[in-house]
Amino acid sequence: MINKKIDLAIYTDNNYSAGAYDSSLAQVEVTVERVIGNSSYTAITKTYDAKQLKQYATEKNAVADLVNIQGVKDDKEVLIIIYNVTYNTKGSKFTIQGKEVIGRGEPQKRINVVI
């Protein structure tokens, strides 16, 4: 068994400085699923506080978080990282979901969550 590391980077690649975005927020939720064969379970779920879009940094100054998943059976188990970015503008919400897989033989992977 090994430990697998997920290097999360949360940032924007858009310019949200215009006043039109002042009432727009984004919240990020990341879930790590452990999958063995046909069964899976949630290893961890992390929710990052909602912030105004213009408060998110660019990639150079991204919010960084290192998630360590211990005791992974690398020959039998994969990790699925599911991230949801929920946008909220004056109570109107929509969510964009992304997924990444950390497969066998990958001890660490960077996941970019772009706002």
CATH number at residue 27: 2.60.40
The mean per-residue pLDDT over the stretch 1-12 comes to 96
The verdict on residue 115 lying in a domain is: no
The verdict on residue 80 lying in a domain is: yes
pLDDT range class, residue 68, cuts 50, 70, 90 = very high
Q: For the chain, what is the mean pLDDT?
A: 95
pLDDT digits (tens, 9 = 90+) for 72-87: 999 999 999 999 999 9
Q: Do residues 77 and 102 make contact, with C-beta atoms less than 8 angstroms apart?
A: no
- CA 18 to centroid of chain Cα atoms: 26
Residue 19 in tokens: 């006043």
- From the list 87, 91, 74, the residue with the least C-alpha distance to 12 is 87
If one counts the domains in the chain, the total is: 1
* CB proximity list for 92: less than 8 A, separation 6 or greater: none
The verdict on residue 114 lying in a domain is: no
pLDDT range class, residue 20, cuts 50, 70, 90 = confident
d(CA 65, CA 44): 13
